[in-house]
Amino acid sequence: MRTGVIKGLGSALPDQILTNHDLEAMTDTNDAWIVDRTGIRERRVGGMTSELAVRAGRQAIERSGLDPASIELVVLATTTPDQTVPATASTVQAQLGLRSGAFDVNAACSGFIYGLVAAQAMISMGMGNILVIGCDSLSRITDYHDRGTAILFADGAGAVVLEAREQPEASLLSWNLGSDGTAAGILYADIGGVLVMEGREVFRRAVRVMVDSARAALDAAGIDIADVALVVPHQANLRIIESAASKLGVDMQRVAVNIERVGNTSSGSIPMALTDAVGKGQLSPGDLVLLVGFGAGMSWASALLRWDGA
Ligand code: UT7
């Protein structure tokens, strides 16, 4: 079976730290409320999407030990491209010195999983190694006078290199991708505009779609949640993560969380949380790992992977 094995991971954050106390000076909010209602203490802001994506991508390639010349495609999940045209993936490909295909995926905070599943499908069709990056610079489209969004959104990137291999079992066991475009109005940014969100409504739907999507992916592979070593959820709000975990019947020891210091980085969130979890030794070869995301669209996505030990 031809499959893509995660060989290297990387992440990147801008240098500028924006704390909850910094936000108190910008909008009507306070540190205690933000920590209590979201779990976030600080986030990073600044820089362009391509800049962060290049840093994360370079780290993932170096750690993979693979020859950069063997990378045949760059898939960049982002909802904040540097420009409308060209695809930011092309800018990233050039800056990494790769000779490969390149395209962007926009499925908001679910984008990295959409990109990962697309990359796996392309590998199974015969393509070689693929670099998949999730990156957003949401600070560029955040209104810092709007306390409903300013406290959450931030910038960051995560990346994985998929090595194309022939092996008995697929690395991606199952997936679930979905969208409900009738809910587009609860979280959007017009071209040239800032993020507008009905926070409570997004929260309510988020828990439901995460649970349903995770269950659909588990069912498709015939796997029980008890056999999953680690769930890596989109880092949107600690209360959303805790609520979804409790409904899925998974204790928080088996959930990757790094929202406290990075906030919600949209497409960057899941690959960054995965990179951090691997760095902390939370995954061992053979483990099952479940990625679960949701975001504007609304969109949602899950992917169940057998960890091969990057
Ligand atoms: O990537 C996906 C994107 N988005 C999300 O996942 C966001 C999902 N939604 C959320 O995370 C939450 O809805 C928020 C964090 C945005 C808001 O938290 P909440 O617990 O839903 O607050 P709320 O809007 O229900 O407001 C509760 C109270 C209100 O005061 P009263 O009416 O009870 O007196 C608000 O005025 O908290 C007040 N409030 C705030 N106070 C201080 C709302 N936002 C703030 C704030 N600072 N930033």
pLDDT digit string, tens, across residues 205-264: 999 999 999 999 999 999 999 999 999 999 999 999 999 999 999 999 999 999 999 999
Q: Say how many Å lie between the CA of residue 199 and the centre of ligand 1.
A: 6
CA of residue 297 to ligand 1 center, whole Å: 20
Answer for the pair 9, 158: CB distance below 8 angstroms, yes or no: yes
| Burial of 108 from C-beta contacts in 10 A (0-12 / 13-18 / 19+) | buried
Q: 200 C-alpha vs ligand 1 centroid, how far in Å?
A: 7
| pLDDT, position 47 | 85
Architecture of domain 172-306 in this structure: 3-Layer(aba) Sandwich (3.40)
Q: Which alpha helices (H) appear in the chain, and where do they start and end? A: 20-24, 31-38, 49-64, 88-95, 111-124, 147-150, 199-221, 238-248, 259-262, 269-279
Whether 109 sits among the annotated catalytic residues: the reply is: yes
Q: Quick one: which of 104, 115, 138 has its CA closest to 235?
A: 138
Is the shortest distance between the CB of 270 and ligand 1 below 6 Å? Answer: no
Backbone phi and psi for residue 137, each to the nearest 5 degrees, phi listed first = -120, 75
Residue of 33, 37, 40, 43 best suited for mutating to test ligand 1, as the one with most atoms within 8 Å of CB:
37
- Domain-wise residue ranges, the chain: 2-166, 172-306
Looking at the CA of residue 202, tell me the nearest atom of ligand 1. Answer: 8
Q: Are 302 and 216 in contact (CB under 8 A)?
A: yes
CA distance 115 to 120: 9
Q: Are 250 and 272 in contact (CB under 8 A)?
A: no
264 has catalytic annotation: yes
Interval 146-196: pLDDT, tens: 999 999 999 999 999 999 999 999 999 999 999 999 999 999 999 999 999
Supply the pTM of this predicted model. 0.98
pLDDT of 267 above 70: yes
DSSP 109: B
* Average pLDDT of the chain to the nearest whole number: 98
Q: Each residue of 37-47: pLDDT tens digit?
A: 999 999 999 98
Is 135 a residue of the active site? Answer: no
**Catalytic residue of the set 20, 129, 176, 234:** 234
Q: Whose CA is nearest to atom 5 of ligand 1?
A: 236
Confidence of residue 71 (pLDDT cuts 50, 70, 90): very high
| Residue having the nearest C-alpha atom to atom 10 of ligand 1 | 199
pLDDT of residue 310: 67
CATH class of domain segment(s) 2-166: alpha beta
Residue 309 has pLDDT above 80, yes or no: no
264 close to 236: Cβ distance less than 8 angstroms: yes
Q: Please report where in the chains the tokens 């800032």 appear, as a residue.
A: 194
Distance separating alpha carbons of residues 77 and 125, to the nearest angstrom: 21
Write out pLDDT tens, residues 78-98: 999 999 999 999 999 999 999
